[in-house]
Structure 1
C-alpha cells in the first residue's frame, strides 16, 4: 500500500510507520528507507523471537544502491543458521529488473524450515513498481 511516497507493508503481519521520511520496521520483514521520493531497500529478512523477548534479525540479504533516483539490487547473499527454534532460510531467489527508474521485483521465493511454532514461509510472490517516487507493493 502506497501513501505519500511511504511504503506500508500490510501483509504477513507486517506494519510499518513513517517517521521523518524513514520507514521503520516494527514487525517481521522489510527494512526500507525513503529519501527524496526514492525508496531504498536496505535489507530483507525474517525476525524471530528469542528468549527474553528480544527480537533479532537473523540475516541481512538484500543490498541496493541508489543512482540517479534509481534503486538497483546489486547483491544478494544470505547465510543463516537454525538455533533454538529460529527459522532457517535455506535459499532465496530474487529476480529483479530495472527500467527507466522503475524497480520491479518479479518474484521472491523463500524456502524455510518450521521449528517450534515458527511460521513457515514457502513462497512469497511480490510485484512492485515505482510511480512518482512511490513504491507500490502488491500481493
Structure 2
C-alpha cells in the first residue's frame, strides 16, 4: 500500500465587481481542462497568506490583497489527502489583467453562473459551499 501524502494548499477566491476569477487547468496537468480558483501548495515556512500571494503572482501576475478567511476544504483522492486553506482576495493596487502563466483560460464570472462548468474535485466542493454562503454573498457585494 502506498504511503499517504498530505498536501496543504492556499486557494484564493478572487472577487472583483461582484464576480469571481476562475482559471482552467492546463490539459497536461492533474485534472487537466477543469476549472479552479487559483492557488497552490504552501511551502515550508510560509503562512497561508504568503503562499496565496506568491501563487497568484506565479499563476496570473496579479498582486492580491487578502480580504479575509473563506471556508476551507479537506478531501482525499488516491493516496493524497488535501487541505485547502481558502482566503477571499482582490486586487492590490488596482486592476491588472490576469495572465495565463499556468492555465489555458481564465476570466471573471458571476459565481451563480458557474454551475455548468467542470471544476477540479476540491474546487467543486468549495464552489458548492460558497454558493450557499451568506458571507460570500456579502463580500461579493462589497468588492
User: TM-score, normalising length from structure 2?
Assistant: 0.27
- Structure with a larger share of its residues in strand: 1
User: TM-score, normalising length from structure 1?
Assistant: 0.28
Q: Decide which structure has the larger Cα Rg and report it.
A: 1
Q: Answer 1 or 2: higher relative contact order, Cα 8 Å, separation at least 6.
A: 2
- Structure with a larger share of its residues in helix: 2
